[in-house]
Chains A and B, each alone.
Chain A
Amino acid sequence: MNATARSGTFILACAIVAAVVFFGARAVGNDYVYFAGYTVLQFIVLATAWNILGGYTGYVNFGTAAFFALGAYSTVFFHKSFPLPIPVLVVIGAAVSGLVGLGMGYLTLRLRGAFFSIATLALAVVLQTLVVNWNYVGGARGAYVIRPAEVAELSLPYIQYLFAIMLALAVIAIATARIVERSKLGYGFATIRDDELAAEASGVPTLKLKLIATTLSGALMGMAGAPFPYYIGYLQPSSAFALEYAVNSIAMPMIGGTTSWVGPLVGALLLGTLQQITTVTISSAVNLLIVGALLVGFVIVAPNGLIGLWQRVFSKR
């Protein structure tokens, strides 16, 4: 079976899993499942997107919130003038975030990785300042995005519609990651991570590949942000640009494992579920403390994440 057929089979398998999850959720019958599930799925997309740049090429992006918020605010922008169906908004959000990723990469990727990372932090703050000062999208006060009660054509309650969309986005993100990982591009990314100088000497166009990674990663993050205003109903800059997005999108791949698409998925499922539980039972601040502590702990003790630990245990034959 050649690579294309394998990818096709994988996407089909993902789609089947997604369908099972969706109808399973409907069977449970409790609306909370959709809300919590949406958040976890969102993290899957963000973690996978982050990993395409951070895990595969080794360039750390601290500005996940910036790309996520760009997607969200693109939606708000259009919602005010002429509402569009969510799938279209997703494409627009992806395009906007992807372009910004490309631009920022072009400015900073010729420098050392550390400078790129600091620049991503800078980007998040600059964008947040711009949004706060832009009254059309609500400025500091925020914007209301009224969610319809249901999607008439499908006779589906709106929250289920959003849940289904996020499932689809998760499938897209994971499939993209897997296809990239196993392609020539994936080899190129890995060489950049391992040794950029040797990569260049072997003929790898490192700048071009890094730009591709940044654009792709940014686009996927923007894609995740596009439905967010409808989910949350009232979008404030402080929630769109929350530092939690940066920490989680870094912690989840680091804990799961950064070298393949499985790591972010595992990390997002585990950490995402843990957070839902902690936030509800203890408090959201303690929850964040745990995430931060886990990040630092794993980075020190298990740098290859849970997948790495698994491989170490199972290769002792």
Chain B
Amino acid sequence: MTLMKFCLTESCSVRTRAGFQRGERLSYDLLLNAVMAGLLLGGFYAAVTVGVSVSFGILDIVNIAHPAFIILGSYIAYIVNARFGIDPIVASIIALPAFYGLGAAIYQIYYLSFEKRGQDSLRGLAFFFGILFITEVALVLAFGVDYRYVQAAYTEQSWHVGIVDLPLRMLVPCVMSLLMLAALQLFLTRTFTGRAIMAVAQDQLALQLMAADPIRIKRIAFAISIATASLAGAFLIIIQPVEPSIGRDYIGRVFAICVLGGLGSLPGTLIGAMLLGIVESFTATFYGPSWAPAVSFGLLLLTLAFRPAGLLGR
């Protein structure tokens, strides 16, 4: 079951269940809702991607296992929610330190095994691919392949503004995601550590001269990127039911957004995410949801082929 199919059948009932019928008059109703759904989706996608914007865009580490950590976040939110009834987003905030620690540990292993030895990127990629795979299989062993979902106060509700539907299930994660991005942007541009992180991408030597340890700075950055996965995981399971293999659908989305938005730029990530959200929403509305996975990956291939520096360039 794909994300779009679920969204549309739940929020837009009869109109879009079978996709847009050929010959049906294009109604503003449908169009506006598709755009709105796309924007809400885009906000969520930005949260999913921001971790990779940091690790790939700033640290130049191709962490293709990032979606696996997001799914892990989803499952943790699920367990806490099912056991204690706590709101999933609150649960993910509680889990933040654990994810931060996990990120720091993984970076340390990565650094000692690969960066320090000057190994080619082949090994680094294989390393993260292995982690992606292990995480998915471990989750299957622990939880099985059934879909899991959460219960929160707002998962069933929906606001209506004129002809536009705003399911809270999508609105709350979108808003929280924007808040998270804003907080991260402030951190990166206003604090010393944050600016050091931005600088480490450009000039390690200058950083050392400022008496900051580049390795420690990079470790903090990577740990932050994994921490965002905790929150993104909570958002994900609020929006749709989760099972271990859906992480793979997100690999393409995440990198498509990164490339579209220009690596390492948070505003670029948001714009890229919104764009992808709208394109996916339109595709699902007018061609049917089963085409949605091809959209992001197709967009990625096209962007890589013709404009690899991204729409905003760098």
What residues make up the interface of A, taking CB atoms closer than 8 Å to B? 54, 58-60, 62, 104, 107-108, 111, 113-115, 117-119, 121-123, 125-126, 128-130, 132-133, 140, 193, 243, 246-247, 250-251, 254, 258, 285-286, 288-289, 291-293, 295-296, 299-300, 303
The docked-state distance in angstroms from the alpha carbon of A114 to that of B301 is 13
Determine which residue in B62, B129, B259 has the highest number of CB atoms from chain A within 10 A of its CB, and name it.
B129
Residue numbers in A under 8 Å from B122 (CB-CB): 54, 58-60, 113, 258
Known: A117-B125, A125-B297, A126-B293. 18 other contacts (CB 8 A): A119-B304, A121-B252, A122-B298, A122-B301, A125-B249, A126-B294, A126-B298, A126-B301, A133-B290, A133-B291, A243-B133, A288-B137, A289-B137, A289-B141, A292-B137, A296-B131, A299-B113, A303-B119
Residue numbers in B under 8 Å from A114 (CB-CB): 56, 62, 121, 125
Residue numbers in B under 8 Å from A296 (CB-CB): 127, 130-131, 134
Residue numbers in A under 8 Å from B129 (CB-CB): 62, 246-247, 250, 295
Shortest CB distance A46–B (Å): 15
Residue numbers in B under 8 Å from A62 (CB-CB): 64, 129
Shortest CB distance B4–A (Å): 12
The docked-state distance in angstroms from the alpha carbon of A107 to that of B137 is 32
Determine whether B186 belongs to the interface, using a CB cutoff of 8 Å to chain A.
no
Shortest CB distance A113–B (Å): 6
> Is the beta-carbon distance between B121 and A113 smaller than 8 angstroms?
yes
The docked-state distance in angstroms from the alpha carbon of A295 to that of B136 is 15
> Is the beta-carbon distance between B133 and A247 smaller than 8 angstroms?
yes
Determine whether B109 belongs to the interface, using a CB cutoff of 8 Å to chain A.
yes
The docked-state distance in angstroms from the alpha carbon of A26 to that of B105 is 52
> Is the beta-carbon distance between A295 and B130 smaller than 8 angstroms?
yes
Interface string of B291-303 (1 = CB under 8 A from A): 1011001101100
Interface residues of B in 241-269 (CB under 8 A from A): 245, 248-249, 251-252, 255-256, 259
Interface string of B127-156 (1 = CB under 8 A from A): 101110110111011000000000000000
Determine whether B15 belongs to the interface, using a CB cutoff of 8 Å to chain A.
no
The docked-state distance in angstroms from the alpha carbon of A60 to that of B62 is 12
A140 (CB) vs chain B CBs: closest residue:
B290
Binding site secondary structure of chain B = helix
Interface residues of B in 72-125 (CB under 8 A from A): 109, 113, 119-123, 125
The docked-state distance in angstroms from the alpha carbon of A292 to that of B293 is 25
Shortest CB distance B130–A (Å): 4
Interface residues of B in 21-62 (CB under 8 A from A): 56, 62
A111-B308, A122-B300, A126-B301 are known contacts. Are A243 and B126 too (CB-CB below 8 A)?
no
> Is the beta-carbon distance between B137 and A285 smaller than 8 angstroms?
yes
The docked-state distance in angstroms from the alpha carbon of A99 to that of B294 is 20
A62-B129, A292-B134, A295-B126 are known contacts. Are A130 and B294 too (CB-CB below 8 A)?
yes
Determine whether B305 belongs to the interface, using a CB cutoff of 8 Å to chain A.
yes
Residue numbers in A under 8 Å from B308 (CB-CB): 111, 115
Shortest CB distance B293–A (Å): 5
Residue numbers in A under 8 Å from B304 (CB-CB): 107-108, 111, 115, 118-119
> Is the beta-carbon distance between A108 and B305 smaller than 8 angstroms?
yes
Residue numbers in B under 8 Å from A289 (CB-CB): 134, 137-138, 141
Determine which residue in A119, A122, A132 has the highest number of CB atoms from chain B within 10 A of its CB, and name it.
A122
A107-B304, A125-B252 are known contacts. Are A58 and B126 too (CB-CB below 8 A)?
no
> Is the beta-carbon distance between A123 and B301 smaller than 8 angstroms?
yes
Residue numbers in B under 8 Å from A129 (CB-CB): 290-291, 293-294, 297
Residue numbers in A under 8 Å from B126 (CB-CB): 60, 250, 254, 295, 299
Q: Which 10 A-B pairs have the closest CB atoms?
A: A296-B130, A122-B297, A129-B294, A292-B134, A107-B305, A295-B130, A292-B133, A114-B62, A300-B113, A289-B137
Residue numbers in B under 8 Å from A123 (CB-CB): 297, 301
Determine which residue in A104, A113, A296 has the highest number of CB atoms from chain B within 10 A of its CB, and name it.
A296
The docked-state distance in angstroms from the alpha carbon of A121 to that of B294 is 12
Contact sample, A vs B, 8 pairs, CB 8 Å cutoff:
A60-B121, A107-B304, A122-B255, A125-B248, A125-B294, A250-B129, A291-B133, A303-B123
Residue numbers in B under 8 Å from A286 (CB-CB): 141
Residue numbers in A under 8 Å from B133 (CB-CB): 243, 247, 288, 291-292, 295
Interface string of B200-225 (1 = CB under 8 A from A): 00000000000000000000000000
Residue numbers in A under 8 Å from B119 (CB-CB): 303
A133 (CB) vs chain B CBs: closest residue:
B290
Shortest CB distance B264–A (Å): 14
A126-B297, A303-B119 are known contacts. Are A121 and B130 too (CB-CB below 8 A)?
no
Q: Out of A117, A118, A133, name the residue touching B300 (CB < 8 Å).
A: A118
The docked-state distance in angstroms from the alpha carbon of A277 to that of B29 is 58
Residue numbers in A under 8 Å from B249 (CB-CB): 125
Shortest CB distance B133–A (Å): 4
Residue numbers in A under 8 Å from B127 (CB-CB): 296, 299-300
A57 (CB) vs chain B CBs: closest residue:
B122
The docked-state distance in angstroms from the alpha carbon of A130 to that of B291 is 8
A111-B308, A303-B123 are known contacts. Are A292 and B248 too (CB-CB below 8 A)?
no
Residue numbers in B under 8 Å from A243 (CB-CB): 133, 136, 245, 248
The docked-state distance in angstroms from the alpha carbon of A60 to that of B119 is 14
